[in-house]
């Protein structure tokens, strides 16, 4: 896709997007030769569901990667409970680091590392996926900010989504992922190299569209 918007846009732009829910069902992603699943531990049970169209796109994308490099799916669809769990853990941690903060101040800091739980959050609409690259030998490709360490709450608070201080090699690796994802018109989030989406509100905003296909969805 040409010309995705590459600066972070204000969150309230998302609210202007009209959702025309197309009822594309949630599907569980299956491991293939080129798609590895769930190698990164979260502190709650991760799910590997995405909308059917997104699953098909990931399948196509995986076949375009250079030999020896595969996609690794870190997380797809997220339930309201898991979003709430992550928010509560981050909130508690920030508060315990500095008891003098008011709840409002804690919330401002928490929002830098985790999205406030909402039915409209991307991972609850089934079009978003957190992904990275992995070599055939099972070693993760070096993408700079390590998603694994960034998934511990301590590290998330210490290194909120930093992404500029990376080496040329790491930049190149991120570009390998981005280039293949763009062939299927996925949008990447400028603040998180691992977050890609298609069909949801964020996707519409970053591609200058006013409508999208995916709203909140529950697992059957
Ligand atoms: Zn994400």
pLDDT tens digit sequence for 111-160: 877 788 888 888 999 999 999 999 999 888 988 865 544 455 555 555 44
Helix and strand counts by DSSP (H, E) for the chain: 7, 9
Q: How far is the CA of 70 from the centre of ligand 1 (A)?
A: 19
Ligand 1 mean position, distance from CA 110 (Å): 16
Q: How many alpha carbons lie under 13 Å from residue 59 in its C-beta half-sphere?
A: 13
Q: Which domains does the chain have, with CATH numbers?
A: 11-212 (3.30.1380.10)
Ligand 1 centroid from CA 130, angstroms: 5
Instruction: Mention every residue, 6+ apart, whose C-beta is less than 8 A from residue 133.
Output: 65, 69, 70, 71, 72, 140, 141, 143, 173, 176, 177
Q: What is the pLDDT of residue 190?
A: 81
Calculate the average pLDDT of the chain: 86
Ligand 1 mean position, distance from CA 100 (Å) = 31
* Residue range 58-84, pLDDT digits in tens: 999 999 999 999 999 988 999 998 889
Q: For residue 76, with 0-12 CB atoms within 10 Å meaning exposed, 13-18 middle and 19 or more buried, which class applies? A: buried
Token pair for residue 60? 């196509």
The pLDDT score that the predictor gives to residue 161 is: 47
So what's the pLDDT on residue 2? 54
Q: Give 180 Cα–ligand 1 centroid separation in angstroms.
A: 18
Cα 189 to ligand 1 centroid, rounded to whole Å: 8
Cα–ligand 1 centroid distance for 123 (angstroms): 6
- Gap from CA of 195 to ligand 1 centroid (Å): 4
Element containing residue 88 per DSSP (H, E): helix 80-97
């Amino acid at each position: 896709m040409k010309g995705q918007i590459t600066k972070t846009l204000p969150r309230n732009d998302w609210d202007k997007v009209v959702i025309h829910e197309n009822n594309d069902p949630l599907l569980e992603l299956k491991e293939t030769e080129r798609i590895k699943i769930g190698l990164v531990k979260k502190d709650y049970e991760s799910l590997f569901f995405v909308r059917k169209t997104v699953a098909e796109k990931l399948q196509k994308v995986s076949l375009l990667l250079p030999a020896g490099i595969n996609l690794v799916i870190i997380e797809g669809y997220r339930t309201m409970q898991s979003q709430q769990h992550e928010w509560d853990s981050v909130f508690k941690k920030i508060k315990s680091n500095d008891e003098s903060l008011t709840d409002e101040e804690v919330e401002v800091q928490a929002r830098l590392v985790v999205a406030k739980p909402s039915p409209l959050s991307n991972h609850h609409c089934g079009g978003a996926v957190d992904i990275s690259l992995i070599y055939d030998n099972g070693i993760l490709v070096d993408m700079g900010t390590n998603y694994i360490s960034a998934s511990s709450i301590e590290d998330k608070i210490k290194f909120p989504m930093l992404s500029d201080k990376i080496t040329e090699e790491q930049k190149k690796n991120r570009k390998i992922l981005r280039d293949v994802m763009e062939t299927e018109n996925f949008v990447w989030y400028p603040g998180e190299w691992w977050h890609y989406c298609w069909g949801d509100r964020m996707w519409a905003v970053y591609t200058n569209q006013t409508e999208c296909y995916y709203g909140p969805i529950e697992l059957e």
